[in-house]
Homo-oligomer: A and B are copies of this chain.
């Protein structure tokens, strides 16, 4: 997977050393040149029309690995479209308990959950050196009045996020550790495909701990599940390098399909603190 991403990373490395001229042009974010514009906010917009969204989007921002794009409770001023790199968002309860809410890849738009209260609810942390296009929310709102398609696009993004969470809940309530991992990998694979990368090979950007948190498991359990999938020759997974060897099996697993032994009715797992 990392073909392109590696390039990205190299660029960043260079940039940070102030050497590489590639980014000398003003980093205006031209959606029409963006490889992921089809997944992003401008879906359905007249991309050639620069007067539209392009005028709104501020200069690209670079976020270093481990740095926060925003934190919970920050006032909402911008939505952020990931241009390259990746992020995690996590929600932390008062008592310090937290969960990873989602992982974000190029084309994804972060910050929609802040619209309700005009304050961010999550922390957003870059999983690698990344770039985002900041979109001033209030001005976006205004613009959307004149471009119904844009409003529609925004509505769809939000609605899709709701649906995604529904599916997550389904996963948390009904799947075993192994199935969750399978589901996670299949999901990632699909997302890579829709971004033009390989379905079968990619690099995880997050730690086992983050995966565990996202899947509602402990990191040891994730490790063990990985080991089992490896033993079944369904995936080759060492460290953060993923190679899906048997996609059909993985997808079967994902959906309650438990082979190995034959149980008619796979049990639904649930978490316990």
List residues of chain A with CB under 8 Å of any chain B CB: 91, 93-95, 97-99, 101, 112-117, 121-122, 141, 144-145, 148, 151-152, 154-156, 158-163, 165-170, 172-177, 179, 213, 216-218, 255-257, 266-273
Contact = CB atoms under 8 A, between A and B. Distances in A.
Contacts of A114: 159
Contacts of A218: 270
> For A114, A121, A172, A266, which residue has the most chain B Cβ atoms within 10 angstroms?
A172
A18 B268 CA distance: 29
Query: In the assembly, how many copies of this chain are there?
Result: 2
B166 A169 contact: no
A93 B266 CA distance: 13
A256 B96 CA distance: 10
A273 B176 contact: yes
Contact of A213 (B98, B144, B165, B173): B173
11 contacts: A91-B170, A93-B170, A115-B156, A145-B145, A151-B151, A169-B169, A173-B216, A174-B271, A216-B270, A267-B272, A269-B270
A165 B169 contact: yes
* Across the A-B interface, the 8 shortest Cβ-Cβ residue pairs: A270-B271, A269-B272, A269-B273, A115-B159, A116-B159, A165-B165, A271-B271, A268-B273
A156 to B, nearest CB: 5
Contacts of A269: 270-273
Given A97-B256, A115-B159, A256-B95, A273 B169 contact: no
